[in-house]
Amino acid sequence: MAEYIVSARKYRPAHFNEMVGQEQVALTLKNAIRTGHLAHSFLFCGPRGVGKTTAARILAKTINCENITTDYEACDKCESCVSFQKNASFNIHELDAASNNSVEDIRNLVDQVRFPPQSGKYKIYIIDEVHMLSAGAFNAFLKTLEEPPSYCKFILATTEKHKILPTILSRCQIFDFRRIGIDTIVKHLKHICEAEKINAEEDALHIIAQKADGGMRDALSMFDRLASFSNNTLTYASVLENLNVLDYDYFFKATDALLVENLSFILQLLDEVLKKGFEGDDFVLGMCEHFRNLLFCKDGKTLAMLEVSENLKQKYAVQSSLASADFLVNCLNLGNQCDVHYKQSKNKRLTVELALIKMCYVNSVVSIDADTSKKKLPEAVKPEVRSSKSEVNTEEQVKVVNEPAFNPNDKPKTDKPATVNLQPTTRNVQPATLSKSKKVLTLDSINDNEGSTEQKEIIQASEETTEGEILILNQENILQLWNEYAARISEEKKGLKINFSLYEPVLDETSLNKITLSVKSDIQKKQFDEVRMGVQNFISKRTGVTIEMKVLADKQIDNGAKPYTPKEKFERLIEKNPAIKKMQQQFGLELDYD
């Protein structure tokens, strides 16, 4: 039986053009060899498993090669290359600084430097984990590192550059190795699967690459273990089970439940995850990453940044179209707050459940400007409240019908992640979105007292429902609903009520879920912006279509418009109130327009 060699050693790069994910380092070193501008000391730094020691060995073998190729790669046939491959080279020495870190070890190395190579051009010393050297060893090494013999080269490698003395750093040519991208790791794993005749699903390789966190050696170690576990057949389900990773399907189902405010489902889903042995923050952080991916799907430019397989990208794109950007941003903020508080919490499960509850009802929360005459709330709460409850029109919790009972023993399908279709009630209602100008909901907004008058006002307003038949979305019905909403406005807000009678919204014919309201001044725009969410929710509930309302001031409508002159202001005032003209004539008043 042949000796088994792990993939990290068997497929270790032997030439510059085989280096994976570090092409910029390989190109720089090859150009230095081509031009003869080789430094006397190099420092390779970066995360573990990204190819630092491998690059050092390739460089050492190449510069000592007797028959270097036209592409400036080692020939692998000359005496120097063959002896190096057999670990029998007298000119290339490797030193592990983790176990040889004393002053005496460095002095022995310095003594060896004095003797020129027996064959070949250079005597090369590769010192791995160089940051482990003691301060005395570094100081004993300084002079030799600064002025070595012409035939001597030093290649240092470290994962912690900040621990190396600045005097050492200044004497080295530094190369920063970067983490290897997920797509690059997946491509390399596919190559190994073809060579080893291993059947692997692309989703399974993506999970391995993500778990490796940019380290190729870690990815190859996991790959070998999983290949043995699954008998040379890597499936998405087997990788999830072996690496103890949460399935994407959990997050798709959880987001579907949040969008329709199905609180019981999301809490049972969390309970299932906890029973499988995962921590609560694992689920919250996974949800945050899921929201982040959905947010990236909103724009084609950021869609390319998703490091997932193509079939998952399509699923993200579909769910992203159902979730508003406001919803995703607020849920991301809630998840981040939960992560911050999780470690300090004595009841960790409650912290996660509270975050999920607030995510579930984030679409129903409308933060509005607080009335200055109202009593100021505690710092931890600070909700903004309108003086009239009738201006807040949010929909009651969307109920789910014909939904199968949740069974914790049912495992999600893991061969291909799929979302769960959680349909809303008889109305085809999309969750209301939060205005970008509104306050972001956080866990810090929890208030332990009984609640102030303003808080009760918000709760009562949010529980109001709108009765009436579902109307077809057209311009005529938009005006009808506009007038109905105006009738609900409190008599205390006469100015707003008058403005509702002066202006009418226009339905965008190109996009049947957008309406535009054009007003004359910034003050009026501000008034309508304060009730915009209420109007949107009111119309959405009566039409069954999620409506987006945009308020434009006069200067936004026509950039070429000029401000009114004093005379034009007076004439405009007379048009609205003819009694002013009558009063001017009765008292014989003269106007000074200057």
Alpha-carbon gap, residue 302 to 323, rounded angstroms:
16
Identify the CATH number of the domain in which residue 528 sits.
Answer: 3.30.300.180
CB of 49 closer than 8 Å to CB of 218: yes
**16 and 162 housed in the same domain:** yes
Q: What is the CATH number of the domain that holds 20?
A: 3.40.50.300
| pLDDT at res. 463 | 38
Tokens coding 85: 């491959």
Say whether both 98 and 203 belong to one domain.
Answer: no
In a domain, 372, yes or no: no
Does residue 240 contact residue 247 with C-beta atoms inside 8 Å?
yes
**Max Cα–Cα distance, the chain, nearest Å:** 119
pLDDT tens, position by position, 21-33? 888 999 999 999 9
pLDDT number for residue 236: 86
> Could you count the other beta carbons within 10 Å of the beta carbon of residue 80?
27
Residues 112, 54 share a domain: yes
Residue 304 CA to residue 296 CA, distance in Å, equals 9
What's phi and psi for 154, nearest 5 deg?
-115, 130
CATH number of the domain enclosing 426: 1.20.272.10
For the chain, the domain total comes to 4
- Same domain, yes or no: 253 and 226: no
Same domain, 118 and 201: no
Domain assignment present for residue 169? The answer is yes
Q: How far apart are CA 151 and CA 247, in angstroms?
A: 56
Question: What b-and-e string marks burial along 190-212, b requiring 16 or more CB atoms within 10 Å of the CB?
Answer: eebbeeeebebbebbbbbbbbeb
Q: Which residue has the tokens 């965008």?
A: 508
Pairing of β 233-234 and β 123-128: unpaired
Q: Note whether residue 46 is domain-resident.
A: yes
Q: Which amino acid is at 365?
A: V
Same domain, 191 and 154: no
Alpha-carbon distance 482 to 176, whole Å?
62
Helices (H), 77-215: 79-85, 103-113, 135-146, 166-169, 182-196, 202-212
Looking at the structure, do residues 285 and 160 belong to the same domain, yes or no? no
Closest CA to 502 of 554, 556, 435: 554
pTM tops 0.75, yes or no:
no
Any idea which residue has 């406005």 for tokens?
A: 489
Chain length of the chain: 594
Q: What is the CATH number of the domain that holds 239?
A: 1.10.8.60
Spatial distance between the Cα atoms of 534 and 513, rounded to a whole number of angstroms: 16
Find the domain containing 324 and state its range.
248-363+407-434
Please, are residues 219 and 212 in contact by the beta-carbon 8 Å criterion?
yes
| Tokens 């949107």 belong to residue | 536
Same-domain pairing of 17 and 72: yes
Alpha helix positions (H), 383-470: 453-462
Same domain, 233 and 341: no
Same domain, residue pair 256 and 205: no
- In the chain, the amino acid numbered 520 is K
Residue 171 lies in a domain: yes
Beta-strand relationship, 506-507 and 233-234: unpaired
**Same domain, residue pair 287 and 224:** no
Same domain, 205 and 269: no
pLDDT of residue 558: 45
Q: Is 334 exposed, middle or buried (0-12, 13-18, 19+ CB in 10 A)?
A: buried
d(CA 260, CA 399): 7
Dist CA 564 CA 137 (whole Å): 81
As a whole number of angstroms, the distance between CA 270 and CA 276 comes to 10
Domain contains 136: yes
CA angle 481, 487, 493 (to 5 degrees): 125
295 inside domain? yes
Q: Tell me the C-alpha distance between 49 and 20, whole Å.
A: 11
H-state helical runs in 147-201: 166-169, 182-196
Tokens read off for 286: 């996974």
Cβ 377 vs Cβ 452: under 8 Å: yes
- 519 in a structural domain: yes
Residue at 572 is within a domain: no
Mean pLDDT of each 10-residue bin along the chain, 594 residues long: 78 90 90 90 92 92 89 88 87 88 89 84 90 90 88 92 90 91 90 89 88 88 86 84 83 90 91 89 90 87 78 85 88 91 89 91 57 41 39 39 44 42 39 40 43 39 50 84 86 79 84 83 82 85 83 62 68 78 80 66
299 with 249: CB under 8 angstroms?
no
Kind of pairing between the strands at 41-45 and 173-176: parallel
